[in-house]
Amino acid sequence: MAVVSRPIEVRVGTGRILIGTPALLPPEQRRPYHQVAVLYRLFGSAGAVRQLQQVWRQLPLSGSHAAHLTPMELRDTIERAIIAQRIALVWLPPLFTGTIQIDRLPTSKTPPAGAGQRTQPRQRIDDLPAIEKVALAVQRSLDHVRGDTRRKLVELRQAIERLDERDVALIVGGFALLAVPVVGEALGAAILAWTCWEFGYEGIAFAYGLGAASRAAAEARTEADIDIAARRYAEAFEHLGKAFIAWLLIRLQVGGLRRAAADTAAVDTTAARTAATARTGEEASAPLHKPLAKPAKRQTGTTVLGHNPDYQALANKGGDRYFDIPTQQWDRITKGMTKDQIFDRFNKPFIDRTIARGDAIILSNSVTKVKPDSYLARELDYLFSKGYKPAKDGLSLIKPGRP
């Protein structure tokens, strides 16, 4: 096993990764979230993997020579070494001109005097690995998100920075999906089922928007392409809006996450289901450290059923929930399904969550104008079976037990 007296440098795109024993690297960069993020960058670049094979003998690792290991075996070995705290990774982003304040680092990393005043060249987007392009687009998406959603994203970013290592599993597991440029059929179906379960209709458009943005980012060749991907990410975040951000903030508070960095991908499903009661409105804007409210006290909202452009515009203005997804995407995900199967898979869970939240329910059209075989007719029949009844105006429903 080699004894490393200074970090080994591996170039990734226009940035660098330093690999060394933990004592050589800044402690704030050794948290699990940072380590996993850097690991994604390292193995997302074929050139970086080749460099890693060349310097393998210089690392404080034992075992087979790198030439005999596949990339997956190399990654597994690195992961185990990180967990055992034998090595640590630090990412130096493109255009980095500062110094890392560790005495044992080589002084050659210190930039010449006046380097900070030089005109910095623009990044060559085409040279960056896919994971780095995705990260750049996600960062820039904040510039295109408006209003309350933007404020919640800022709060989320601050919350991530305050996390301790035992809660890192959520962030790594959730945002790792952004790095998948092409979602396979099986994974796509799983993501679709999860988003529908957690968010109902809104989750479908979010999942597709996220996938489209990730593909655009991974295939970007210019700064303009990255900006386009950033706007697509912003559209996806805004489609789900405060509901998603509030849900994610709540999940940072609930228990059930594995306590070790080795269990990063494991999340207790009970915690995920508990988090489905995410708060909305003013309660969702509460500070992250505030204790969770009891379910009986959680804020209620409004859900709009049916399709009517004018009514949907009004729902948007009031921040109400409704479903809107391009017809082409909807046809693709429901191909081969009957109306009853679609209702059971998508509509019914959405209505169940609406009932559980205690939302007020309004209709985009009068009850008297609902087509008998439509999805809205099925939704109303289901709600009537739960004790709801139409109001006199025919445009809203009265909750069970109310006159």
- pLDDT at 382 (0 to 100): 92
Question: Among all chains, which residue has been given the structure tokens 């890693």?
Answer: 52
pLDDT in tens, the chain (403 residues): 455 557 788 888 767 888 888 776 666 555 655 676 777 778 777 788 888 888 887 777 755 565 567 777 787 788 778 777 788 888 776 644 444 444 333 333 444 444 444 444 455 787 777 767 777 777 777 677 766 666 666 665 555 444 443 333 333 334 434 433 333 444 445 555 555 555 555 556 666 677 777 778 878 888 888 888 888 888 777 765 555 555 554 444 333 232 322 232 322 222 222 233 333 332 333 222 222 222 333 345 677 777 654 444 544 444 444 444 556 556 766 778 888 888 887 788 878 888 887 888 888 778 888 888 888 889 999 999 999 998 888 888 999 988 7
| Helix extents (H) in 223-324 | 223-251, 269-274, 281-284, 309-318
Q: In the chain, helix, strand, coil percent, each to 5?
A: 60, 10, 35
Structure token digits, residue 12: 């990734």
Q: How far is CA 302 from the centre of its chain?
A: 25
* CA-to-CA separations, 288 to 188, 210, 251, 295, in angstroms, rounded: 31, 25, 10, 17
Tokens of 77: 């070995």
Closest C-alpha among 335, 337, 309 to residue 322? 309
| Tokens linked to 215 | 């593909």
Residue 292: CA count within 13 A, CB half-sphere: 19
In terms of Cα–Cα distance, which of 157, 130, 165 is closest to 36? 165
pLDDT at 203: 59
Which H or E run includes 214? Answer: helix 201-218
Give the Cα separation of 101 and 113 in Å (integer).
Answer: 17
Question: Within 13 A of 376's CA, how many CA atoms are on the CB side?
Answer: 22
First to last CA, the chain: 78
C-alpha–C-alpha distance, residues 79 and 87, integer Å:
9
Nearest residue to 323 via CA among 297, 358, 295, 353: 353
